[in-house]
Structure 1
Amino acid sequence: MDTEIWLLSARDVVPNLIFTLYRKPKKVRVFYTEWEVSKERAQGQKLVFERYGINCSTIEIKTYDHENITETLNSLQVNPEKVEFLANVATKYTVEVIHRWLTERGGKSLYYMPDGTVALFGGEKLYQIKEKVLKTEDFFNVAGLNIESVRPFKEMLGERYQAAYSFYKNTALAGRLNDLRKNSEIHRIEASLFKKLSKEEMKIVKKKGWILEFLTYAVLEQSGLFHEVLSEIEINYGIGEKRELKNEIDITAVRNNTLYYFSCKSGKLTNLNLEDHAFRVGSLARRIGGRFTVPILVTSKELPQKKKEKVKLFGVVPLTIKELLELENNPSKLEEWEKIAHSYR
């Protein structure tokens, strides 16, 4: 397409990704401000767009500086009538300046909504994006994170995958998951299931919390509701040559260009630990997936109602593994999760 797309970089740029990768323009200009997060996200967007073969340039402007923004726009060699500006950021003053400059010269300002609808800025709805345009890697890269490795449970278990899922699923539904490691009969079944695994793979299977992670992964993968499910994702905080802290994320899934982020906890969570963990889960999930992401805390034991409400205050969905298993027969559960996650401000 001949249209050039303009984007403004802020904390949440997932709408920028969805819109641009759907439109597939030849050129994108990403404006960023003096705020460090804006610059980092601009670099992340550039990385993603160029991976998809889209020419992208980044341009610095100053927040709340009308003269600077206007001078920058005037200096661009561009036909405004062929420009579409996506106005999906919270820096309203900067958005308004760009919007006015562009629309006065025949360009368009657009807005992306959570359901995929694209509308004129402050006006009519134009169309809806239903295509799957984002991969898990895109979310991470634009947040300045690099995926070092993943451990695909399905590939690791091979022909034993389905049998393992059925076994652990039935155990969870029977309420026996928490006593699993203490049961000698179950040990024999596990030994039979995993007898062909390597020593390294057996270490993974035997580690604390693996069963909960595996079940979470398998429920999502088997549901057919997500177009990508990843497990045990090792990341580092930095892309390109920059390598900083490392972290591991239990499970992520992507559906309708929305990231679902799962943290699995099989141990006991005290009030203090629970609030701290819920805060960290919600914060990291939204750093990666933007404000429309769905952070979920999966536990092996039922949390008391008061603790559930505390978790929800951080926009994190509290689920037991039995509740997660309900997704198989009731896909509408996704709407409930999204409602809790999107209530966070």
Structure 2
Amino acid sequence: MKEKTISAQAEEKVILFPYLNQMNRVCRQAGMDKLGEIIMEKIFFIFTLAGSITIFCVIFFILSNAVPVLRASGISFFVTGGWEEQFFNTWLATTAGTHYRFGALELIGGTVLTTVGALILAFFFGLGGAIFLTELCPLWLRRPLASVVRLLSAIPPVIYGLVGLLVIVPLIYNYLISEELALKMIETAALDGTCLLAGIIVLGLMITPTFTILASAALLAVSRSYQEAALALGVSPWRTIRGVIVPAARPGILAGLILATGTAVGEFVALAMVSGSVTHLPSPVHGLVFLLEPVQTLAAAIFVNAEALGVAPCESALFALASLILVLSIFFSLLARLINRQKKKEAGEVE
């Protein structure tokens, strides 16, 4: 009798409060969602903290291993040459532990020349491609072309290096280097097609798709009202692009070029295949022939000489090269972020 009374009371509550159970379920679900949100927040925080600690540990590891050579060489590491001779003499010496003085001027010069040349190519071809994709390309062709550009940016560097070695290097050797020129320059450098020009072309081909994507994003971010106002005033479409859209997108384009610079500085596989991998600094005294002389970049030197990592001075020297690349990459990344932040601030998106 008592059980029936309790059951009747429960049924009465359900009848009197038809949404009571539903409200309880909603409250419990809300509590579980809040708990899940807190748990996921903590998990992401742990992963972020672990990633940050790992990055700082890598930076500390590289810089600490570079200290012996940087301390012994001082500023001469950046302004004097003789890297190849110093490196191999130290590697083969029986008292290698005492030789910590190196000069990387040829490697720094090779990196600067290759990067600047590649950036010039990437700027003109990449910006032209971005303008065509965003402003001039028919709608039916825009999506396939954009997909091709993204695909090109994802191709491994070794593929570009292989194409350069099998196509670009033979073309340079067959059409730009004569026997007389090769004999004339024999005391300066061996001209065999693997040279600064080949490195510039291959590196330019590698970073152009990336810069095209970044420049396209910058152009698309420009308000369409600028274009409509210019066209309403009777300005031609080409003059609108040249005088309104591109100047408005200049900060984003510059940021994309800086990010492409960071990529170019750290590239090594393709350049090691096509640029000659010789620690030689081309001289412009021979005119444009310096483009046909072999070079070696900072990253390529690390790649080529990695087998000497067991010798302490050589290992420290390679870490010194790596620290220079690391500092340059961080600098270019921060500079790009600063430019983007300034752009947003001018647009009123950042207080």
- By the TM > 0.5 criterion, same fold? no
Bigger helix fraction: 2
- The answer to which structure, 1 or 2, has the higher relative contact order (CA under 8 A, 6+ apart) is 2
TM-score normalised by structure 1 residue count? 0.21
Bigger strand fraction: 1
TM-score normalised by structure 2 residue count? 0.21
